[in-house]
Amino acid sequence: MLQSVAPLTSQADPLNAIRGVDTTNKSSVREAAEEFEAVFLNTMLQNMFTGLNEGGTWGGGTGSDAWQDLLIDEYARSISKAGGIGLADSVERELIALQEGAL
């Protein structure tokens, strides 16, 4: 089943991924933490692809920039869902600690 997913690059502020998250719902905390990590990874991956010669993998046509952005979004989401780089775990712990401190 295909899901409509907002592109990560449209989020100018990575903190949007964790703002307003319901910290009492453990699954939504984890989801927000993974989304934050995906936004971070997207930024890192975008920088890796900066400066590549036109053409090559992307073909250099009119849709090559859009294709590259979509592929990088998917790379970032896949890496995050597969365990990522550990950032989601740290963010999740901090969100739960904030919630416990608010009680």
Is residue 38 scored above 90 in pLDDT? Answer: yes
- How many other C-beta atoms are found inside a 10 Å radius of the C-beta of residue 54? 9
pTM for the predicted model, two decimal places: 0.69
For residues 18 and 95, the answer to whether their CB atoms sit within 8 Å is yes
Is residue 103 scored above 70 in pLDDT? Answer: no
Is residue 5 scored above 60 in pLDDT? Answer: no
For residues 16 and 10, the answer to whether their CB atoms sit within 8 Å is no
pLDDT at position 9: 47
Rounded average pLDDT over 22-32: 80
Burial of 103 (0-12, 13-18, 19+ CB in 10 A): exposed
Quote the CA–CA distance of 36 and 93 in Å, as a whole number: 13
Is residue 91 scored above 70 in pLDDT? Answer: yes
